[in-house]
Amino acid sequence: MFYRIVPAFTVLMVLNGASTYAQAASQIAQSASGGLFQGTPEERKACRHDSVKFCSDAIPDSLRVLACLKEHREHLTKACDQVLKNHGQ
């Protein structure tokens, strides 16, 4: 996923100039980690226990937490597993 973001960010930076660098970086970072993988409050609640139990060393990096949850899929609660399925993970 990240390999798609970096070239897009580079093109955006060149086309828009350095003055929009901070704004573009913020938007990309938010969509890469915050918007896509944090979920609703209910989804976060469903995966909170599993995240702490299996992935505490990855918190607060939501991309690492997602990867970790996927690695421990067979041990996840049904609710958290369903959240991942609902998001195509």
Percentages helix, strand, coil for the chain (3-state, rounded to 5) are 80, 0, 20
Residue 34: the pLDDT is 45
Residue 39: the pLDDT is 86
Nearest residue to 70 via CA among 57, 60, 80: 80
Residue 55: the pLDDT is 97
Looking at residues 47-72, what average pLDDT do you find?
Answer: 95
* pTM (two decimals): 0.58
Looking at residues 65-78, what average pLDDT do you find?
Answer: 97
